[in-house]
Amino acid sequence: MSPPPPPLSHRLRTAAGLSPGEWARALEAAVLFHGFRVVLRVVPIRRLRGVLGPEGPRDAPLAAPPHRPDPAVFAVARALRRVAKPHAATCLPQALAGRVMLRRRGLPSTLSLGARPDPDGPGAFAFHAWLRSGGVVLNVGGGPRRRAVLATYHDPPAAAQRADRETT
């Protein structure tokens, strides 16, 4: 069971302290996140190849990991945390929204899908999706802890090289 949301007064004080750039990123994350929640209800995930990118080695590191993560990676992570709550139904739309946000900024990322046995029922599995960029896991719920990686999608090498050139 997830913890109760913070009171409205706390959320309003937090929102009032955001810079215009953070407001814009939070709005972008909210639109993408909720859009993907709707899309995933009617479109099979295999139809989202354009967003997922090519499948690669399972949970392999990024093709060209930066020495330190770009500040935009942390900004995207903060925006995603503002719009998604840590419960099971949000990890995939959150990871897809982050993937789009990072691509728009020319930053490479890796989206992974994993599973682990669900303690609530015999033969049941708990699935999770997570997004990494620059060695940082961006979405709520963390990364591959105690999960078997089922599939990993990497940005095409051209996107990773373009982002690498822009950071050097």
Whether the pLDDT of residue 62 is over 80: the answer is no
Domain-located, residue 160: yes
Domain-located, residue 74: yes
Domain-located, residue 25: yes
* The pTM of the whole model exceeds 0.85: no
How crowded is residue 56: how many other Cβ atoms within 10 Å of its Cβ? 15
Separation of alpha carbons 166 and 106, rounded Å: 8
Domain-located, residue 2: no
How crowded is residue 98: how many other Cβ atoms within 10 Å of its Cβ? 27
Domain-located, residue 7: no
Domain-located, residue 136: yes
- What are the tens digits of pLDDT across the range 39-59? 999 998 888 888 888 887 765
Domain that holds residue 102: 18-167
What pLDDT is stored for residue 13 in this prediction? 53
* Interval 136-142 mean pLDDT: 78
DSSP string, 111-143: EEEEEEE-TTSTT-EEEEEEEEETTEE-STT-S
Separation of alpha carbons 63 and 157, rounded Å: 7
Domain-located, residue 51: yes
Domain tally, the chain = 1
The better pLDDT of the pair 124, 144 is held by: 124
Domain-located, residue 22: yes
